[in-house]
Amino acid sequence: MTSTLPSSLPGQLTPVSRRIRERLEAAGVPFLANDNIADHLLDGEMEQLELEVAGKVRDLLRSLVIDIENDHNTEETAERVARMYLHEVFKGRYHEQPKIASFPNVKQLDEIYTVGPISVRSACSHHLVPILGNCWIGIKPGERVIGLSKFSRVADWVFSRPHIQEEAVMILADEIERLCQPQGLAILVKAQHYCMKWRGVKEPQTSMVNSVVRGDFRHDPSLKAEFFELVKQQESVLGY
Ligand SMILES: [Zn+2]
């Protein structure tokens, strides 16, 4: 423990991240890279976290032997990176789910529809470099319905965390089921991983495609085939 962390308020020796971590552990709440911890943050802690993370990024830059004291380009990089992590690219960990209203399915619609492509942006948990791609969602409505744009909002919130693609799709499916309890749900994600493009094997064209099918899409092969056919048509029209 150190008393010199900028995130420590006067008289407060414990870094804010440790206080939050201890609170999560005491409550038995997981805080893996792709978990959301918004419900367990107290007022003012995000501002303190921003200071703490900026301090650590500054240390990282120093460890990379970058002269941040004299390099005008990296002078405020630490603050920018801290803000970017906490409020943009990983906001799905720290910010609450956007408010999404659902409505009763009064007309008892039960024809399937697809929404997509929805842009998804994430980062791999292994290297923290971008995963960028598109997502298609197929719904067979149940008791409740949500507006089309809401699928983009919830996908953005779920993907804005460090992830592996397979888990991101599962978490998104869980959230959509929770929001509108569809009779059937299918999600397909096609994304490029900068771990493979920018580093490692440096394969610029490779993308990963994965999907999850639940409810009627899982039980009824023709419904599942219809979803993939709709996505394929849309893909060929749009040239993805
Ligand atoms: Zn990676």
Quote the pLDDT of residue 168. 98
Cα of 91 from ligand 1 centre, angstroms: 19
Residue 66 burial (C-beta neighbours within 10 Å; 0-12, 13-18, 19+): middle
Cα of 173 from ligand 1 centre, angstroms: 23
Cα of 130 from ligand 1 centre, angstroms: 8
User: The pTM is what?
Assistant: 0.91
Cα of 164 from ligand 1 centre, angstroms: 8
Cα of 166 from ligand 1 centre, angstroms: 13
Quote the pLDDT of residue 5. 46
User: Mind listing the domains of the chain with CATH numbers?
Assistant: 16-94 (1.10.286.10), 102-238 (3.30.1130.10)
Quote the pLDDT of residue 10. 54
Cα of 204 from ligand 1 centre, angstroms: 14
The phi-psi region of residue 239 (left if phi > 0; otherwise alpha if psi is between -120 and 50; otherwise beta) is left
Cα of 83 from ligand 1 centre, angstroms: 22
Quote the pLDDT of residue 237. 63
Cα of 158 from ligand 1 centre, angstroms: 18
Cα of 94 from ligand 1 centre, angstroms: 22
Quote the pLDDT of residue 235. 76
Nearest to 114 by CA among 222, 192, 215, 227: 227
Q: Mean pLDDT of successive 10-residue segments in the chain (240 residues)? A: 48 86 98 98 98 98 97 97 98 97 90 95 97 97 94 98 97 97 97 93 90 96 94 74
Token pair 């993907």: residue? 159
Q: Is 198 helix (H, G, I), strand (E, B) or coil?
A: coil
